Amino acid sequence: MQKGEMLYEGKAKKIYRTGEPGVYLVEYKDDATAFNGLKKGTISGKGELNNKISAHFFRLLEHRGIATHFLEQVGDREMLVRALEIIPVEVVVRNIAAGSLAKRLGLAEGTALPRPVVEYYYKSDELGDPLINDDHIAVLELASAEEMNVIRKMALVVNEILREYLSERNLELVDFKLEFGRSDGEILLGDEISPDTCRFWDAQTKEKLDKDRFRRDLGGVEEAYQEVWRRLVG
Ligand code: TMP
């Protein structure tokens, strides 16, 4: 598949047109940012690992009946996806208190939540991705109530599938972020599912095996991403 014009460069990925209408090529970068771009760095090998890990999760989810944008992995750091009209809402699902939830609600990091918590954030760099609710989404006309119903249900099913799959691999799915988009009137899961966008803890030791190692300067970032990949395929 030919790599055409670059349409968009984000913090961790580049999107290119391809020879085929409606199909984009995603290239995963080694660049990492945190705190809305204030902290910048490079994690060597990250692009390749996140491409492989995301492709692995998308295949698993497709197999379990979740409609995603994923088509095919075509290179070490490249995948083909269906072009989406992205809905500018980050959907976070949480099983264990960590990060901004622990801070906002005053819960100790690691507190198990009695049921999954779904949160929405408005994708806006200028505003710093504020937490929003269904009413905000309606007022800003980001998505219809019907679409948000589908999205919430899909996010919770994704949580159940990933949680079970990871627990068999001795990993706890603490929380994660999803993005959705429209394609031919259908809602598809888009973006990526990787240690950049999820929190994975070792089930026994609770060692962090995700981007928090970069955000919090814990070291061993690349090794952690490699360990996640090893557990998925090992
Ligand atoms: P938070 O605790 O910082 O709100 O993060 C919740 C989850 O969302 C965590 O798994 C990391 C992921 N996330 C992203 O993918 N992108 C972001 O910009 C942020 C802030 C979090």
Q: What is the pLDDT of residues 73-103, one digit of tens each?
A: 999 999 999 999 999 999 999 999 999 999 9
Shared-domain flag, residues 172 and 134: yes
Shared-domain flag, residues 160 and 91: yes
Residue 231 belongs to some domain of the structure = no
Give residue 229's pLDDT band: very low, low, confident or very high (50, 70, 90).
very high
Is 99's C-beta closer than 6 angstroms to any atom of ligand 1?
A: yes
Is 197's C-beta closer than 6 angstroms to any atom of ligand 1?
A: yes
Shared-domain flag, residues 193 and 89: yes
Is 1 a residue whose pLDDT tops 80?
A: no
Shared-domain flag, residues 152 and 189: yes
> How much is the pLDDT for 215?
98
Residue 229 belongs to some domain of the structure = no
**Pair 175, 93: CB distance under 8 Å:** yes
Task: Give whole-number Cα distances, 158 to 17, 48, 57, 117, in Å.
Answer: 28, 23, 10, 13
Using a pLDDT cut of 90, give the percent of the chain over it: 99
Nearest to 79 by CA among 24, 11, 22: 24
> How much is the pLDDT for 231?
98
Nearest 5 degrees, angle CA 174-CA 106-CA 198? Answer: 20
Is 207 a residue whose pLDDT tops 80?
A: yes
* Arithmetic mean of pLDDT, 29-52: 97
Q: Give the domain range for residue 130.
A: 85-220
Is 92's C-beta closer than 6 angstroms to any atom of ligand 1?
A: yes
Is 101's C-beta closer than 6 angstroms to any atom of ligand 1?
A: yes
Shared-domain flag, residues 44 and 134: no
| Contacts by residues 214-218 (CB-CB < 8 Å, ≥ 24 positions apart) | 214/32, 214/34, 214/39, 214/41, 214/43, 215/34, 215/35, 215/39
* Arithmetic mean of pLDDT, 121-142: 98
> How much is the pLDDT for 234?
86
Shared-domain flag, residues 71 and 174: no
Shared-domain flag, residues 55 and 92: no
Shared-domain flag, residues 77 and 120: no
Give residue 2's pLDDT band: very low, low, confident or very high (50, 70, 90).
confident
> How much is the pLDDT for 80?
98
Residue 233 belongs to some domain of the structure = no
- Which domain CATH number covers 104? 3.30.470.20
* Arithmetic mean of pLDDT, 117-132: 98
**Closest protein CA for atom 13 of ligand 1:** 197
The last residue of one of the domains, among 82, 112, 144, is: 82
First to last CA, the chain: 30
Residue 232 belongs to some domain of the structure = no
Counting the structural domains of the chain, the total is 2
DSSP SS3 for 138: helix
